[in-house]
Amino acid sequence: MASVKVPEQKVILCGEYGVGKTSLFRRFATNTFVTSTDRKSTLGLDHYEKVYMTDEHQGVKLQLWDTGGMERVASITSSYYKFAEAAILVFSLDSPDSFNILSQHLLDIVTYAENAKIFLCGNKYDLKNQIHVTDADMETFCEQCHNLISGTYKTSCKTGQGVEEMFIDISKQLGEANRSRKELDSLNKNSFKITPPEGEPEDSCIC
């Protein structure tokens, strides 16, 4: 079977305990949501791949990574971040604490995965009357981060609102970045071509 090679993009989820990283992951993987009694804290690592078509011919394979509870094993932390093309900073819109701690996670990302594009995702958008993190707060955060944030989203894993849209947008941005990098690469390759200076080599080789 003919298969088109689709570039694989590692996307990691970062954020505090209980903001819904695994719920996002589950929406991504199986488009399901489980009630609170069925949930368990994440211990370990999980990842799932899915192809998003950014246009008719070009697809991007998002490989979403979810982790939890392993902050205490340093070697794991670094391998989780390593080679990530994108990182989603997840916080809970009803919890200012989970929002305020993001700068720590951001610091982790820029140190461990310096090339990752960073996205901000406010989860639990369905809790309409308990939302304590405003759009202005999110904007301020992005400004403070010197525009390191490539996109902000508000999602609800419970209703599914905004989740698919977020992943589509992320895959588009990664697809574009990928394309421009390829162009740069080909430019680069051409720039390495060396044409021997005429006549000179033979002369200088004679000793």
Partner 1 sequence: HSYFAFIFQSLSFIYLQVSEEVNYITNMVRKDVLRTDRHHPFFSGTDDNSNVKSLFNILTTYSLNHPSVGYCQGMSDLASPLLVTMKDEAQAYVCFCSLMSRVNSNFHIDGDAMTLKFQHLTEALLYYDAEFFSYLQHHQADDLLFCYRWLLLELKREFAFDDAQFMLEVLWSSIPPNPPEKSLDLVEVPFNPVKVAPSVPSTPRQNHYANVCALRRQRSCVSNKSAESLAAILHRRAASVDFPNSISQHVLNRTFSQSNNHDFKLRNSMSEGECATSPISPVHGIKEESSSPEDSPSRSVRKIKDLKEFKKLTSKKDGAKGNDNSLESTPQKENNSVGLSRQNGTKDMFSESRRCYSDSDADIGVPVIDGGDVDVWQNPISTVSPEDESQIRNCCSGRETIFYKCLSSDKM
52 is a contact residue toward partner 1 (CB under 8 A):
no
90, β-bridge pairs = 15, 121
Q: Could you tell me which of 79, 65, 68 has the C-alpha nearest to residue 10?
A: 65
Find the shortest distance in angstroms from Cβ 82 to partner 1.
Answer: 7
Binding residue (CB under 8 A) for partner 1 from 63, 127, 151, 168: 63
d(CA 24, CA 31): 9
- DSSP letter (8 states) at residue 101: T
Q: Are strands 8-15 and 59-68 parallel, antiparallel or unpaired?
A: parallel
Residue selected from 31, 50, 130, 176 as contacting partner 1 according to rule CB under 8 A: 50
Residue choice 188, 190, 199, 207 for contact with partner 1 (CB under 8 A): 188
Listed ranges 124-132, 150-158, 166-174, 178-186: which one lies at the site for partner 1 (CB under 8 A): 178-186
Instruction: Read off φ and ψ for residue 13, nearest 5 degrees.
Output: -105, 130
Residue 181 in the binding site for partner 1 (CB under 8 A): yes
Residue-wise over 127-144: b if at least 16 C-beta within 10 A, else e? Answer: eeeebebeeeebeebbee
Beta carbon of residue 95, minimum distance to partner 1 (angstroms, whole number): 10
Nearer Cβ to partner 1, position 66 or 94? Answer: 66
- State phi, psi for 147 to the nearest 5 degrees: 60, 35
186 binds partner 1 (CB under 8 A): no
**Residues numbered 83-142 forming contacts with partner 1, rule: CB under 8 A:** 83, 97, 101, 103-104, 106-108, 110-112, 114-115
